[in-house]
Amino acid sequence: MSCSKRTVIDNLLQSYREVGGINHIDCSNLPSKRTIAALCDDLLQLLFPGYHDEEPIASAELEMITSERIANLVEKFEVEVAKSLRLRDADGISNGNGTIQAAAHDLVCDFLNELPRVRELLRTDVEAAYEGDPAAKNFDEIILAYPCMETIAIQRVAHILYRMDVPLIPRIMTEWAHSRTGIDIHPGASIGSHFFIDHGTGVVIGETCIIGNHVKLYHGVTLGARSFPKDEHGRVVKGNKRHPNVEDGVTIYPNATVLGGKTVIGKKSTIGANVFLRESVPAESFVSNDGERLRVLDKTTGELLPELSSPAAA
């Protein structure tokens, strides 16, 4: 086989002509993954000042440093958001009136104004980690060393952009965190306060999940879809509720799988390790495996509830 430069180029050009669907040529530019990765690092510095910095930050310099960071973030973020909006609103480009750039500026400003609220939530997440993990020595250890904090922080800011209907960027952000931590949380998932993922590796949380306050997950937990409805052409229907709701105070132990858009885990319930669950359970339930069936115990009375479907039937 020839390995000349000309041959390689010609073969690739032929592939670009013949293999469609994975080329983005003669189109507007897409958001830069490298730039967004750098922006994620910048956001972590804003959310946790002093924790993601090479040099210490003095209180007297905090205003100046924050001002510089915001200016840098606005400049870069507006460019990437504008690229995304072009995918959503081609008419804004054809008008030639700067509407895309103006919309990007407004979105970035609205986004940045949400950061104080995100910091309030992240403080509760750190508290939940400290209270929920006896190995945690202090907040510093949690913020610097726990992968869940990085992932949750990025997901919370990406969720803002997701709600603003900004294409691509929210998913790029959460996949950046996923690649670093092994924790996969879709930017569409709605997550309450005091959220903690212990260990974290292998956790998957789907787009339409709604998670309440004071929820604790362990490694390997999946909050996923049970099925994918298709239209008359056999294509998967997008945008429907596919993932479970997890109410306040729920704990889900390692490698449990909870599936389905109609599945609700009632408040203060506990889902045991390795449970495969496709049905709702009432508040204050304890679900565990009992051979090929699931055992559901009412934690308030100690009584057994009606059996659920067999995991083997999944």
Q: pLDDT class for 187, splitting at 50, 70, 90?
A: very high
Burial pattern 215-235, b for ≥16 Cβ within 10 A else e, equals bbbbbbbbbbbbeeeeeeeee
How does pLDDT run across 219-228, given as a tens digit for each residue?
999 999 987 7
**DSSP designation for 24:** -
Residue 44 and residue 153 in contact, taking contact as beta carbons nearer than 8 Å:
yes
Residue 313 has pLDDT above 50, yes or no: no
Question: Is residue 189 helix, strand or coil?
Answer: coil
Sheet with 264-265: strands ordered across? 190-191, 210-211, 245-246, 264-265
> What distance in Å separates the CA atoms of residue 263 and residue 143, rounded to the nearest whole number?
32
Strands lying side by side in the sheet with 184-185: 184-185, 204-205, 222-224, 257-259, 276-277
**pLDDT cut 90: percent of the chain above it:** 72
* Residue range(s) of every CATH 1.10.3130.10 domain in the chain: 22-183
State which CATH number among 3.40.800.10, 1.10.3130.10, 3.40.30.10, 1.10.3720.10 fits the domain covering 22-183: 1.10.3130.10
Residue 97 has pLDDT above 70, yes or no: no
Please say whether the beta carbons of 229 and 236 come within 8 A.
yes
Which pLDDT does position 122 carry in this prediction?
98
pTM, 2 dp: 0.90
Task: Flag the least confident range among 124-128, 227-231, 255-259.
Answer: 227-231
Domain boundaries for CATH 2.160.10.10 within the chain: 189-314
What pLDDT digit, counting tens, does each position of 267-286 carry?
Answer: 999 999 999 999 999 999 99
Read off the amino acid at residue 192: G
Assigned CATH topology for domain 189-314: UDP N-Acetylglucosamine Acyltransferase; domain 1 (2.160.10)
